[in-house]
A and B are shown apart, each in its own frame.
Chain A
Amino acid sequence: EAQVTQNPRYLITVTGKKLTVTCSQNMNHEYMSWYRQDPGLGLRQIYYSMNVEVTDKGDVPEGYKVSRKEKRNFPLILESPSPNQTSLYFCASSPVEGGMEQYFGPGTRLTVT
Chain B
Amino acid sequence: GEDVEQSLFLSVREGDSSVINCTYTDSSSTYLYWYKQEPGAGLQLLTYIFSNMDMKQDQRLTVLLNKKDKHLSLRIADTQTGDSAIYFCAEFRGKLQFGAGTQVVVTP
Chain A positions near chain B (C-beta within 8 angstroms): 4, 40-45, 48, 58, 90, 92, 98-107
Contact = CB atoms under 8 A, between A and B. Distances in A.
Most buried by A among B48, B92, B99: B92
Interface of B: 4, 8, 31, 35, 40-45, 48, 88, 92, 94-96, 98-101
B98 A42 contact: yes
A98 B100 contact: no
A99 B43 contact: no
Nearest to B6: A42
A4 to B, nearest CB: 8
A98 B8 contact: no
B100 A104 contact: no
Given A43-B88, A98-B94, 9 more contacts: A42-B88, A42-B98, A45-B95, A48-B95, A92-B43, A99-B92, A102-B43, A103-B45, A104-B44
A100 B92 contact: yes
B99 A98 contact: no
Nearest to A58: B95
A40 B94 CA distance: 23
